[in-house]
Structure 1
Amino acid sequence: MTTLDTILIKLGLTFKEGISASELYKATSVSWRLSESKLKSGDFKYYCAVFRNQIKEVYEITGYEKDLNPENIGRIILKGRVAEDVIRSKLLNIYVGDIHTSSGNPIKYTNIEKLLELTSDNEIGKNISNQSFFHDDLFLSEALQEKIVRLLKYKKNIIFQGPPGVGKTYLAKKLLQKWFSATPEQLLFLQFHQSYSYEDFIEGYRPDENGHFKLTNGLFKDFIMKVVGNPEYVFFVLIDEINRGNLSKIFGELLMLIEHNKRGEKLQLAYSKNEFTIPDNVYFIGTMNTADRSLTALDFAFRRRFSFINIEPAFKGESLIKFKNYMDLNGISEGTTTRIVQNITEANEIIAYDYKLGKGFEIGHSYFTNFTNLGDELEWYQNIIEFELIPLIEEYFYDDEAKMAKIIEVLMNE
């Protein structure tokens, strides 16, 4: 059996074409959930930075250490130096998509001999499915993504809350695809609203084609009936705008059964009188807009059953690095990206410190991630400001014209 001696690390939006060797080293070695037992064996000699299935740099492993950041429990920081040219020259630009097919886990353990058998032929690289690329348009650090996944597995119910435009719903869908490889069949996607009811969600009487009332299953009950027959899979209920609905009215007696330690218990349903249960392999993810004044706060009984995760605009830290590289990959100039980051950050500071608003009303990054029919870059930016953000600011500061004018001025800064 061939000894594993090389680690492939797929880079997402922390990579940028033309990045220097030292910058690439920092991006590759920073902090990963590597197998410490494998590293302790001493067999691993190399690690490779991989972007879009192609080896971009090769390093010799000189050591490793545990990441002491409490948010990065279990992660390892690699230490290394650029490999000798005799190895490096043979591995650079080789395509590894056929041996590193996972779109979720960026780590792959392999060996030099197997890598040398591969080819750097561009035609083979072009034929590799896009699904094998490490797509990372989630503007969250890997550590935070891992923490969210652990919370979901533990609590079984989480809510993404944040201001408009931070991509809460998109984030939820992408996380499920990336970390659970969830298919559409494993997902029930709903949007709550003021008229949504128990009858829509669980069961109730509905008129049939003959004008008679018939007991009919709601969307969630139908979904659970499918889940019960597939205990080996995990299933997800994604509820957009969860706080727009009357949650006590919608969930009814199931408010108890969604609790993580009540899974598998049975309750009698109000209409059919049948026993009903929520299996252990069902997870709830809700999204909640913190800037909507028209909505009442969640009651404490419901809140206790969920973990709440704040999603913020991607204008600082690792999120900012990913955002900048995402803009670059989509053809937005560095000047325009800098303008966006500076102007929105300054506007958000004013919003965050306003006593009537606060951080829950900040402007999110997703206003600037639609590149359909992009055309002129300057016009694209001005249209977003004039037709999307200025109306939002006018709503925020309808009773404070001076502050409204100040933020609009900031948004239009060159």
Structure 2
Amino acid sequence: MELNLKKFNKQQLEEYYGFLDLIIERFGLQEGDKRLVFNVNDKNQIVFTIGQRYVWITGANEEDFKFEVISEKPISNKYSDFDGKPTAFWNGFSNISEVLKHQQTIFSAIEKELNRTQISGFLKYNKEELEKMAFDADFRKEALDQLKTITITDEPMKNADKTPVIPLNQILFGAPGTGKTYHTKKMAVEIINGKKAKTREEINKEYEELIKAGQIVFTTFHQSLSYEDFIEGIKPETIDGNVTYEVKEGIFKSICKNAFSKEITSDNFEVVYQKLLDEIDNSVDNKLVLETLVHAKEFTIYKNSKNNIRFHSNTEKAYEAVIKKEVLEHYLKTGEALDWAPYTKSVANYIIEKYNYIQNEAIEPKKHVLIIDEINRGNVSAIFGELITLLEEDKRKGNPEHTEVKLPYSGDNFSVPNNVYIIGTMNTADRSVEALDTALRRRFSFVEMQPDPKILSDEKYKKVDLSKLLETINQRIEMLIDKDHQIGHSYFIGIQNIDDLKRTFKDKIIPLLEEYFYGDFGKIGLVLGGEFIKLAENQVAFPKNFEYEKNFLEDKKIYHITSSESWEEETFKSIYGEVGNAK
């Protein structure tokens, strides 16, 4: 059967051959290898076969998956198992990013097929043109350049992936009070739990639950925050009166480490732990002698009255301690030793080898979101350090160009996983987007949050048109300064009566305007009008025996804010009522 490449999306073919390049490079495959077959089937799918098993497929039929791939264990919601040995599974995916997340299990299955195959039984079906496209980059480019990339329209498509593409790194920017903080909560919840219609209360509840689960981490950048706080650093710790210095994980390294670990859906810990206790009970003197993994030092374990593990080192200065059951279980599930690390690891290793401790992992690792409030207030270059490069999507772990760095304090190899999302916020009144670090701007998507006066039309308080009030104030601010210094709608949400409105103006709006205009009450008067700002009479007496600039006193004008006690509903209406050109 002849293959019509024009039926394919060019981007889809580029993604297919991009992953095929990874396979070829990973195993050093060469053109003419009799284990490999490149063909097209009757469904108009491009099929890469090793031995007797399909390995990597892409198709142009909208009814099929875009990509199908072999793996050592199930990695997709749509999978089936191959007949015979070795055990392998067939998985369908709608986008390449999901395939890239599972390279390890895919490559393990491919390696087994290569090791057990000398020549493929399908070799006579090999198509030289497709093989050449796999190994000859210039020939491939020439073929793909003849295709056109399909533009997605608004018309519904069968089996289309309707999930919007969510940037891994994004910053919400806008004037104060535009709802940036709340929107970060909403976006974080939707990234992890999916986009559904939820009330504000439901979003806040889910947000708190995800905070407790460690899937959402909130932090605020400030001038004192450093690389050592965010990534890792040496921190002092006092133990029994002695000061020690250890490398401690920072906020970002910690969330990345958690994101790499997969959820344990089930295990046989209770069974194997009971077997360990039974073995201790049935042993001579009710004890077992084990060795630490690194230094092979003997220590003895017992069972205490609470069914925890009591132990002591077999030395002259033997000391006793306890490994709690939950500490041992935590280490087996996460690899993190919370207490007595050398002994905890040794007991865990004994359980794994002797009693066959096993875990069932979730197919997909959980998504994690790091929210960085006021990201522009920190020194981003110093805080992220060399890791700023790793934030790029193609540099993330599991992607074709993934990159690792060696951390300076621990010496650990570090990379950023694909399931960590970063959402930052910044007030444009503090600093404009253009003034941000260039390296940060290149690696983040920016979403502008503008004041939305229309939201205020739903407020219960109707005696003053809050929507028109905010719109008028912002038009004047934009004329006098710029749009980055407008006032957000959040300041007016929840106002129920005139006292609430007076309090909002007195405690929030006017102090904000004073900051914007550096105390120039004349310009504040241009924004709010004469009912709020009054020209004061000059009653100051200066000495007559000293002369200064003659026009000074004539030009100098002093303005005062009127008392909030005198403000009435008509006072606020005057802001958007009689409007004329400034003179």
On whether the aligned pair clears a TM of 0.5, the verdict is yes
User: Quick one: distance in 2 between partners of 1:387 and 1:73?
Assistant: 49
Match of 1:268 among 398, 406, 410: 406
Structure 2 unaligned spans of 5+: 1-62, 64-151, 157-161, 194-206, 263-363, 398-402, 533-570, 574-583
The answer to whether the aligner puts 1:386 opposite 2:506 as a matched pair is yes
What is the total number of aligned residue pairs between the two structures?
Answer: 253
Distance 1:314 1:223, change over 3 A: same
Give the letter for the 2:523 counterpart: K
Distance 1:232 1:294, change over 3 A: closer
The structure having more radius of gyration, on CA atoms, is: 2
User: Quick one: distance in 2 between partners of 1:223 and 1:179?
Assistant: 16
Tell me the residue number matched to 1:169.
181
Structure 1 outlier segments of 4+, above 3 Å: 72-76, 293-296
The answer to whether the aligner puts 1:198 opposite 2:197 as a matched pair is no
Deviations 1:32-80 (A, max 9, x none): xxxxx9xxxxxxxxxxxxxxxxxxxxxxxxxxxxxxxxxx96488xxxx
User: Quick one: distance in 1 between partners of 2:153 and 2:498?
Assistant: 43
Distance 1:294 1:194, change over 3 A: farther
User: Quick one: distance in 2 between partners of 1:179 and 1:250?
Assistant: 25
Tell me the residue number matched to 1:334.
462
User: Quick one: distance in 2 between partners of 1:267 and 1:225?
Assistant: 15
Match of 1:224 among 224, 246, 256: 256
Distance 1:385 1:170, change over 3 A: same
Q: Contact 1:188 / 1:223 at 8 angstroms: preserved in 2?
A: yes
User: Quick one: distance in 2 between partners of 1:361 and 1:390?
Assistant: 13
Aligned-pair distance for 1:293? 5.3
User: Quick one: distance in 2 between partners of 1:310 and 1:241?
Assistant: 14
Deviations 1:151-202 (A, max 9, x none): 5x2x311000000111101111012224542622311111010000111111
User: Quick one: distance in 2 between partners of 1:343 and 1:303?
Assistant: 34
The answer to whether the aligner puts 1:396 opposite 2:501 as a matched pair is no
The answer to whether the aligner puts 1:277 opposite 2:415 as a matched pair is yes
Aligned-pair distance for 1:295? 10
Q: CA RMSD in A?
A: 2.7
Give the letter for the 2:216 counterpart: L
User: Quick one: distance in 1 between partners of 2:527 and 2:469?
Assistant: 9
Tell me the residue number matched to 1:126.
none
What secondary structure is seen at the aligned counterpart in 2 of 1:310? strand
Distance 1:399 1:335, change over 3 A: closer
Distance 1:252 1:187, change over 3 A: same
Deviations 1:120-139 (A, max 9, x none): xxxxxxxxxxxxxxxxxxxx
Deviations 1:309-350 (A, max 9, x none): 1100112xxxx2x4423x2xxxx23333x2x11121111011
What secondary structure is seen at the aligned counterpart in 1 of 2:418? coil
Identical-pair percentage: 38
What secondary structure is seen at the aligned counterpart in 2 of 1:279? coil
Tell me the residue number matched to 2:424.
286
What secondary structure is seen at the aligned counterpart in 2 of 1:158? strand
Aligned-pair distance for 1:232? 2.6
Tell me the residue number matched to 1:244.
377
User: Quick one: distance in 1 between partners of 2:218 and 2:395?
Assistant: 23
User: Quick one: distance in 1 between partners of 2:449 and 2:389?
Assistant: 27
Q: Contact 2:456 / 2:492 at 8 angstroms: preserved in 1?
A: no
What secondary structure is seen at the aligned counterpart in 1 of 2:502? helix
The answer to whether the aligner puts 1:368 opposite 2:498 as a matched pair is no
User: Quick one: distance in 2 between partners of 1:207 and 1:396?
Assistant: 42
Give the letter for the 1:175 counterpart: M
What secondary structure is seen at the aligned counterpart in 1 of 2:408? coil
Q: Contact 1:390 / 1:408 at 8 angstroms: preserved in 2?
A: no
User: Quick one: distance in 1 between partners of 2:247 and 2:187?
Assistant: 36
Aligned-pair distance for 1:285? 0.5
Deviations 1:360-392 (A, max 9, x none): 100101112246xx6xx0010011011110111
What secondary structure is seen at the aligned counterpart in 2 of 1:288? strand
Structure 1 unaligned spans of 5+: 1-36, 38-71, 77-146
Aligned-pair distance for 1:296? 9.2
Tell me the residue number matched to 1:413.
572
Q: Contact 1:162 / 1:360 at 8 angstroms: preserved in 2?
A: yes
User: Quick one: distance in 2 between partners of 1:295 and 1:333?
Assistant: 35
Q: Contact 1:238 / 1:286 at 8 angstroms: preserved in 2?
A: yes
1:30-45 correspondence to structure 2 within 5 Å = none
The answer to whether the aligner puts 1:359 opposite 2:483 as a matched pair is yes
